[in-house]
């Protein structure tokens, strides 16, 4: 990364530039401090105490190097769709039944493995930096950062609620009211297990929802959801809380013959690009199983009219 010191930045220290202007995390600054050639001004290696002047050329060695590579991520050729990619970010449409990152029992079938393979083809070191994560059975958009600075900026946006996400779900029953906001804190259901629950002791969790289609027999609904917060299983917990669990959600509802997973898809995301702040919006088409489910619901509705 290279940038020129602006007139209004005259006299500030490099540390102030990095943390105040560039919004770098303390961890990233520490990495650059101890990396050979990590911090340069006008071609000279410097410390973070260096006082800057208008026109100085600041260079940061933020590119991934071989020593940064995650040894645990095995490159594997897997079917994923890249929705958007540039030097700073990669946005994927994760298929259903694919975990986001490796874990016990899933060492070579995750989104991280797929992206590691794409990097290996180019001969590039790979570091997996997912900005958001999806459950294995949830399909749709996953945003990843290609360098540590972009990651820090995007994590800050996520923390401040400035990355807008839209999901589509098929739920059991019809939400009442059909449009609203669920404001219910979420906590672990019990220590050491994955399940979450609504609890007064939990962290703030807010989800907007809008019912856009209802089956003729009112057994199922198609719902658009926009979480304002990002708690684990938030949408799944909130919809079950109001009596409309996701179709196929074995954890918060029950399995379904209509689809072999919970019917949730991350369909749209809007965020500020980490390099220049321009608005980026990406959309992910529905996977086949979800599209078939929605078609059955909507066609049945049309046939009844």
- Say whether 135 is catalytic: yes
The CATH fold assigned to 67-159 is Pseudouridine synthase (3.30.2350)
Task: Pick the more confident residue, 191 or 68.
Answer: 191
Residue ranges, CATH 3.30.2350.10, the chain: 67-159, 164-304
Residue 70 binned pLDDT confidence (cut-offs 50, 70, 90): low
56, 135, 137, 147: the active-site residue: 135
Q: What is the pTM of this model?
A: 0.83
Residue ranges, CATH 3.10.290, the chain: 2-62
Q: What is the pLDDT of residue 55?
A: 94
Q: What is the pLDDT of residue 300?
A: 54
Q: What's domain 164-304's architecture? A: 2-Layer Sandwich (3.30)
Using the predicted structure, report yes or no on whether residue 299 has a pLDDT greater than 70: no
Per-residue pLDDT tens digits for 146-182: 988 888 889 889 988 999 999 999 999 999 999 999 9
Q: Which long-range contacts (CB under 8 A, 24 or more apart) does 60-64 make?
A: 60/1, 60/2, 60/18, 60/32, 60/149, 61/32, 61/35, 61/36, 61/37, 62/1, 62/28, 62/32, 62/147, 62/148, 62/149, 63/147, 64/124, 64/125, 64/126, 64/127, 64/147, 64/148
Using the predicted structure, report yes or no on whether residue 69 has a pLDDT greater than 70: no
- CATH of the domain spanning 2-62: 3.10.290
Q: What is the pLDDT of residue 192?
A: 64
32-36, 72-76, 102-106, 190-194: which range is least confident on average? 190-194
Percent of the chain with pLDDT over 90: 70
Per-residue pLDDT tens digits for 186-222: 999 886 678 999 999 999 999 999 999 999 889 999 9
The residue-averaged pLDDT of 1-24 equals: 90
Residue 288 binned pLDDT confidence (cut-offs 50, 70, 90): very high
């Amino acid at each position: 990364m290279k940038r020129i010191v602006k007139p209004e930045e005259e006299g500030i220290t490099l540390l102030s530039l990095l943390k105040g202007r560039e919004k770098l995390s303390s961890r990233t600054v520490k990495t650059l401090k101890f990396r050979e050639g990590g911090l340069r001004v006008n071609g000279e290696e410097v410390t973070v105490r260096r006082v800057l002047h208008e026109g100085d050329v600041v260079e940061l060695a933020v590119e991934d190097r071989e020593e940064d590579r995650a040894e645990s991520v095995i490159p594997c050729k897997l079917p994923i769709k890249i929705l958007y990619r540039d030097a700073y970010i990669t946005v994927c449409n994760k298929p259903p039944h694919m975990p986001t990152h490796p874990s016990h029992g899933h060492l070579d079938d995750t989104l991280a493995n797929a992206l590691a393979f794409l990097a290996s083809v180019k001969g590039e070191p790979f570091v997996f930096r997912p900005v958001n994560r999806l459950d294995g059975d949830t399909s749709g958009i996953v945003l990843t950062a290609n360098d540590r600075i972009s990651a820090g900026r995007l994590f800050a946006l996520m923390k401040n609620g400035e990355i807008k996400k839209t999901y589509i779900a098929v739920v059991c029953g019809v939400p009442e009211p059909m449009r609203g906001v669920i404001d219910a804190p979420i906590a672990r259901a019990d220590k050491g297990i994955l399940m979450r629950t609504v609890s007064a002791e939990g962290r703030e969790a807010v989800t907007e929802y809008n019912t856009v289609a209802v089956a003729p027999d009112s057994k199922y609904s198609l719902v658009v959801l926009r979480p304002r917060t990002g708690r684990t299983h938030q949408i799944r917990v909130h919809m079950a809380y109001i009596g409309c669990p996701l179709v196929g959600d074995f954890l918060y509802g029950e399995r379904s013959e209509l689809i072999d997973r919970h019917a949730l898809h991350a369909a749209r995301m809007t965020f500020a690009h980490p390099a220049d702040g321009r608005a980026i919006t990406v959309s992910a088409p529905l996977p086949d199983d979800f599209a078939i489910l929605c078609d059955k619901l909507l066609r049945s509705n049309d046939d009844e009219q």
